[in-house]
Structure 1
């Protein structure tokens, strides 16, 4: 009788354990494909993937596309054809055509497009509220610009700037948030904006930024990928300010980088993989990572922070709270 009782106890414990873990996957396999894993935003994504690998023991494969446009479709097919991967993360607008064709060809494969939303309803979108982070960046730039010559490297011209890469919706969304933030915090400050037409030409970025500085602009927001590296260097050459994007760029031109608008690709990919591992299956649709979730944030550079008046810091904190609480509505670019 005692042995029979023990069997029931053991069986009950095993059943309870199986119920408790029924939703979790034993092993998640993930692939990621991009040509930008070694720089900027791509580094943040790789950090998130590696964190998920370390914590959850996922299988991970990284595919660097290089610049072989003719091979994009083949590379997607190689990843998707055997159904080996639960999720395939995709970063880079140059991969959109190949992604959409692969999504149609392999309807059971879940693709995650990072940093943008396409027309297809078969894809998972890891999107960012870059307009929120850019609103805060614009407010910071506007408030600093309003200090005039009382703030180091600032003139009395009341002009800030923006250098974008390609003129595409996501970059327009950065610009729109930046303009709205500046207008909200410092209505008299003008925003001068230009587009380089490319994400891969630092010399062009430098040329455009130097032109803006030469026209009286004191702070330039760089949203141009590798092209933006030239913007950061131009701020040092002109001894003005720049604002970095996607990752912490404070070290790229110490003393001349005001802040960075961080787009936390690491948090996005880690969160999606965590959901998958814990049994919350990632399904097609848009997941937006915003100020409230920590998906975007503005980091003021340490070597500049001490010089920023306390009233500006307090105003920025107030603006962030009002955005999170929904009291400030930001219009997104269409």
Structure 2
């Protein structure tokens, strides 16, 4: 049976974190006392999930779905909403990928807002941020939720609620686990102390994953090489980049490249090496053992449950517009998947050491490096990690 390690978002923690930012809900009016001639109506034992008279329209506006990764994680959030609420209509509009498509993103947002039919518009990813901010400025009454908001340092638009994930928290875990595997006696590990990562683009929010990955490798005396495949969709580019790393002696490669990363898994299978997934449990969502057999685990952000939580607040009247919530290991917003394959592939000793490391990161004993927050230092960390080790 699969279980998630640091992946299930605790409702109570999230609501506590938001309480300081969200406005208090209006007090419930006291019930009118029944006339003496009438028998009092028996109160229901459990409040309904939502008033039956209410209905909601929710839109997910993203570049694509079907990537078996980032955007599919967001689409799963709509499924959670529909499974919990009866009176919700959900819709997904895809805007396309690439620079030419991005030029048209503002028109997609404009059309979605102009019709005034959506109670909530959900989006995410750095490529959508500019169009989102423009639309939120032009339509101040429209509520937006960005499930991966790039506004790291503040949010002045009162109709945007965003979540920022501390990717560097899970990046350190990924680097540590890769380091332990490459020096282990695991069947597919070679004698070289080399690991790597294939990254979709050389941009700050993606470097935030691998900055701490490199830091952990430096701390553990392992060489780490970062390769950019310059695509989130070209699986051949992901495959070629991964083969470059595997042929150089890396026995673990972490893919941080969206659906292009599926090519990394193909390379791992062909070379008989290990790989890490990203964003969602990629063993589960890909479901093809010829691609997933060597995926040790996936390092994830908790998109689906966070989207459900945001909608819960909308229904409750406590939507925290104008705030950006930061979620890391302590807030149970990022982590890794502990499924049957992880437990089968990774020796208990390594799993136990990773659990101990997790607690050190949570307590602040280890402070992961953020390539987004310290972009000047990132090249230094990257170059130091790439130096050969004995």
Alpha-carbon distance in 2 for matches of 1:21, 1:258: 39
2:62 alignment counterpart: 34
- The one-character-per-residue Cα deviations of 1:110-156 (angstroms, maximum 9, x if unpaired) are 22223232375213222222222222121111111121xx2211112
Alpha-carbon distance in 2 for matches of 1:322, 1:28: 43
Residues 23 and 278 in structure 1, CA contact (< 8 A), matched pair in contact too: no
**Which of residues 82, 85, 96 is equivalent to 1:56?**
85
1:165 alignment counterpart: 200
**Which of residues 103, 124, 143 is equivalent to 2:161?**
124
Alpha-carbon distance in 2 for matches of 1:189, 1:260: 20
Residues 160 and 218 in structure 1, CA contact (< 8 A), matched pair in contact too: yes
Residues 24 and 278 in structure 1, CA contact (< 8 A), matched pair in contact too: no
Residues 28 and 276 in structure 1, CA contact (< 8 A), matched pair in contact too: no
The 3 A distance-change label for structure 1 pair 281 and 256 is same
Shift in Å, 1:8:
10
SS of 1:89's equivalent? strand
Shift in Å, 1:203:
1.1
Is 2:346 the counterpart of 1:316? no
The 3 A distance-change label for structure 1 pair 311 and 79 is same
Corresponding residue pairs, total: 324
Q: CA RMSD for the aligned pairs?
A: 2.9
Residues 155 and 322 in structure 2, CA contact (< 8 A), matched pair in contact too: no
SS of 1:116's equivalent? coil
User: Structure 1 length as normaliser, TM-score?
Assistant: 0.86
Shift in Å, 1:212:
0.9
2:336 alignment counterpart: 298
Shift in Å, 1:183:
3.8
**Where in structure 2 are the equivalents of 1:146-225 lying within 5 Å?**
146-147=183-184, 150-184=185-219, 187-225=220-258
The 3 A distance-change label for structure 1 pair 49 and 304 is closer
The 3 A distance-change label for structure 1 pair 135 and 24 is farther
Shift in Å, 1:25:
10
The 3 A distance-change label for structure 1 pair 8 and 280 is farther
Instruction: Give the gaps of 5 or more residues in structure 2.
Output: 1-33, 374-390
Instruction: Give the gaps of 5 or more residues in structure 1.
Output: none
- Greater shift after overlay, 52-61 or 157-166? 52-61
Residues 278 and 298 in structure 2, CA contact (< 8 A), matched pair in contact too: yes
Could you say which structure has the greater relative contact order, defined with CA pairs below 8 angstroms and 6 or more residues apart? Answer: 2
- Greater shift after overlay, 203-212 or 320-329? 320-329
Is 2:138 the counterpart of 1:136? no
User: Structure 2 length as normaliser, TM-score?
Assistant: 0.75
Shift in Å, 1:263:
1.9
Q: Which has the higher helix share?
A: 1
Residues 106 and 135 in structure 2, CA contact (< 8 A), matched pair in contact too: yes
- The one-character-per-residue Cα deviations of 1:207-258 (angstroms, maximum 9, x if unpaired) are 1111111111110110011221111111111111111111222355243212
The 3 A distance-change label for structure 1 pair 293 and 27 is farther
SS of 2:36's equivalent? helix
Residues 50 and 315 in structure 2, CA contact (< 8 A), matched pair in contact too: no
- The one-character-per-residue Cα deviations of 1:81-127 (angstroms, maximum 9, x if unpaired) are 24332321113433333222212211222222232323752132222
